[in-house]
Chain A
Amino acid sequence: MRETKYWTWHMAAGVVILFLLGVHMVTMHLGGITHWFAPAGGEAISQANILFRDGRLFFTVTYILLLGVALYHGLYGLRTILFELTLKPAVEKAISFVLLVVGLGLFGLGTWAAITVHTIAIAGIRG
């Protein structure tokens, strides 16, 4: 039953990612067509455009949300694939533990970075 719950979360996370990563992909990789959230012109990944987005609370919040759901979706998906190799229970536990630590570690790093760059952009330290 617990695995069914995790699997349902995995699917729900996929739907959330579809919207958030969809916006991210359109902004970052279709910028030449859409010109979304890139007021400085040029490439969407230019430092000026990055600073513009970093300064918006909307982006900080959605980056952190996307980070969390994408890490869960990706690492749970990897766990599911690995578990299909019919592993010993101890190995399965170890894999779950490692993936949890990696996920929490990267979530902490990404959250720290998103908040830090938001603070920097608001303060106008980098232009």
Chain B
Amino acid sequence: MAEIQRHDNRLGIWGWLGGGRWGIERYAYILHRLTGLGILLYFLMHIVVTSLRARGIYLWVEGGFFHRPIFKVGEFLVFAAFAYHAFNGVRLVLVELGFAVGKPIEPVYPYKTSLNVQRPLLIVMMILAAIFLAVGGYEFLGLAK
């Protein structure tokens, strides 16, 4: 079995971050990666911090080190990153599996792009992420008590 052929990334880190004129889906992809890296960093620390409770150390309960307002803000940022990453991730899986991209057609000028077909999916997912984020914001601001 042949391995996947990869192309040289001559642009380096700009090849990751640069969206150019590739459209909003390309920027959604960049943000997906950035939020993924942020969540991963938090998650690795979260494993260590929450594992401390096996030794009776609860750093996040009232009076604990991580119960301060600054960490509450950080926690909301992680929540926002999760909301975006999760809903955009659903979109990416659906597109990867061939859903919501339309049927293959002959390339007849003026060419149609599948991006126009999948754009509504992006909009729906971003609306769902925004609703989830708004509900989370309501909770984080302490309005749900």
Q: Which residues of A contact B (CB under 8 A)?
A: 1-4, 11, 14-15, 18, 21-22, 25, 29-33, 43, 45-47, 50, 54, 67, 70-71, 74-75, 77-78, 81, 83-86, 102, 106, 109-110, 112-113, 116-117, 120, 126
In the complex, which residues 12-43 of chain B have their Cβ closer than 8 Å to any Cβ of chain A? Answer: 12-13, 15-16, 33, 36-37, 39-40, 43
Residue numbers in A under 8 Å from B37 (CB-CB): 78, 81
Q: Which listed residue, B9, B48, B96, touches A86 by the CB 8 Å rule?
A: B9
CB atoms of A3 and B47 under 8 A apart: no
Shortest distance in angstroms between A91's beta carbon and chain B's nearest beta carbon?
14
B127-144 vs A: 1/0 string, CB under 8 Å? Answer: 000000001101110101
Residue in A closest to B60 when the chains form the complex, CB atoms: A45
Residue numbers in B under 8 Å from A29 (CB-CB): 75, 79, 136, 139-140
Residue in B closest to A126 when the chains form the complex, CB atoms: B56
A22 to B128, CA, bound (A): 14
Residue in A closest to B75 when the chains form the complex, CB atoms: A29
CB atoms of A14 and B139 under 8 A apart: no
Residue numbers in A under 8 Å from B43 (CB-CB): 70-71, 74
Q: Which listed residue, A14, A22, A81, A113, touches B54 by the CB 8 Å rule?
A: A113
A106 to B40, CA, bound (A): 12
Main secondary structure of the interface of B (DSSP, over half): helix
B86 within 8 A of A: yes
CB atoms of B53 and A50 under 8 A apart: yes
A4 to B136, CA, bound (A): 36
Residue numbers in A under 8 Å from B44 (CB-CB): 74, 102, 106
CB atoms of A33 and B144 under 8 A apart: yes
B108 within 8 A of A: no
CB atoms of B58 and A47 under 8 A apart: yes
Shortest distance in angstroms between A17's beta carbon and chain B's nearest beta carbon?
8
CB atoms of A4 and B4 under 8 A apart: yes
B106 within 8 A of A: no
Q: Which listed residue, B3, B89, B135, touches A1 by the CB 8 Å rule?
A: B3
CB atoms of B15 and A84 under 8 A apart: yes
Residue in A closest to B66 when the chains form the complex, CB atoms: A45
Q: List 8 A-B contacts (CB under 8 A).
A: A1-B2, A14-B89, A29-B136, A33-B144, A43-B61, A74-B40, A86-B8, A112-B51
